[in-house]
Amino acid sequence: MNGALLSSKKMDYCTPRDFFAELDREFHFTLDAAATEASAKCPAYYTPETDGLNRPWNIAGGGAVFCNPPYGRETGKWVRKAWEEAKSGTTIVLLIPARTDTSYFHEYIYGHAEIRWVRGRLRFEDEDGTVYQPAPFPSMVVVYNGKEQRGMKAETVEARAVKIAAKVMTAAGLCRYEDPCDCPRAFFDSEVCDRCIRAWLLTKAKVELAREERMKREDRKSG
């Protein structure tokens, strides 16, 4: 895997062209908020030099904004920026890792935007069009001020339960990493968090079952 995919200091991992084209047919983007001169997908764009984090996004005639930001520690800043810019009514579409147990997901995405889970793993490209191996993490498309599309999968009860468990685990100190990108295991295996959460839930269930069994034995003895 090319290190660009795993670094928040690089921006040369580009959105797959076919994937972007499908979104562009729907939203007709006019601004690429996190690009380089070579990777820009729209007529108007911000580069690391022009710094989209500190520039307005409601430009270019007020059209829709596309943003595939740097991944890692910087992702949360871009999500917050998108949330803030969306308050003006601008349609903003983010392509980011599906990190549902991060603080920025709960503060700026969940309940504030439409979430589209990307099936499988995306194969990002570099500025020359070289296609990388499948990403080591799942992705999601986050849409602010967009219209929900027919066929979009609703969040399952199980998925919601996992999110709640992740939040509880972090608050209780059962996990040291608020952002999975900081976890050396989760960084290379996106299913680590899910396995940890399910293991914790299973442990809690076993404890509860053991407690119920003790109460039954005590009831039989007292009876």
pLDDT tens for each residue of 172-205: 676 666 555 555 554 434 455 666 766 766 777 7
Q: What pLDDT is attached to residue 130? A: 82
DSSP for 54-110, written as a single string: GS-SS-GGG-EEEE-PPPSTTHHHHHHHHHHHHTTT--EEEEEE--TTSHHIIIIIT
Q: What pLDDT is attached to residue 179? A: 56
Q: What pLDDT is attached to residue 8? A: 39
* Of 94, 113, 112, residue with least CA distance to 23: 94
Pairing of strands 92-97, 64-67: parallel
**Going by C-beta distance under 8 Å and a sequence separation of 6 or more, which residues neighbour residue 178?**
102, 103, 170
In CATH, the architecture of 3-144 is: 3-Layer(aba) Sandwich (3.40)
Helix (H/G/I), strand (E/B), else coil: 204 = helix
Q: What pLDDT is attached to residue 150? A: 34
Residue ranges in the chain modelled with pLDDT below 70: 1-12, 60-61, 147-170, 172, 174-195, 197-198, 200-201, 223
Run of H or E including 31? strand 29-32
Q: What pLDDT is attached to residue 160? A: 57
pLDDT tens for each residue of 73-103: 889 999 999 999 999 899 999 999 999 989 9
Sheet arrangement for strand 139-144 = 44-45, 29-32, 64-67, 92-97, 139-144, 114-117
The phi, psi pair for 157, rounded to 5°, reads -60, -40
Domain ranges of the chain: 3-144, 157-222
